[in-house]
Amino acid sequence: MKVTSSTVGVSGTLIAYADPDVVPKYSERVKMREMHDFRRSNLSNTSSKKRVEYDCNKKEFRQLNATYYSEGMGKGSVVMNVSDPGQWEEILPDTVTEKMWKFACKNQ
């Protein structure tokens, strides 16, 4: 499900999708699968599929794992895998991450 999009630079668009089946929360945290599709032109697209954990009360997030692809919409060859959870980061206002946090935490 498309959640949001944002202009990136002068010629790109980031479209963020989320799996509407958010993993049930434990305490104030929820986990969600996401796909980020970065479109620079009709011929040059890349994407990533991620699992992200959000802290609904503290307004923080961390990436649990991610796979980056050479083409849009999670297609093409795998460019990189990240399997180690990242550090907790503050969610900044008016960002794609804030919109994803709101989507993940809205029913929690």
Structure token digits, residue 106: 């809205």
Summarize pLDDT for 1-39 with one digit per residue, the tens: 999 999 876 668 999 999 877 777 667 899 999 999 998
The rounded distance, in Å, linking the Cα atoms of 92 and 75 is: 29
Long-range Cβ contact pairs of 15-19 (< 8 A, separation 24 or more): 15/39, 16/96, 16/99, 16/100, 18/100, 18/103, 18/104
Long-range Cβ contact pairs of 83-91 (< 8 A, separation 24 or more): 85/53, 86/62, 87/62, 88/55, 88/58, 88/60, 88/61, 88/62, 89/60, 89/61, 89/62, 90/59, 90/60, 91/54, 91/59, 91/60, 91/61
Summarize pLDDT for 40-64 with one digit per residue, the tens: 866 667 999 999 999 999 999 999 9
Structure token digits, residue 3: 């959640």
| Alpha helices (H) along the chain | 96-105
Which overall architecture, per CATH, does domain 2-105 show?
Beta Barrel (2.40)
pTM given for the model? 0.87
Domain positions in the chain: 2-105
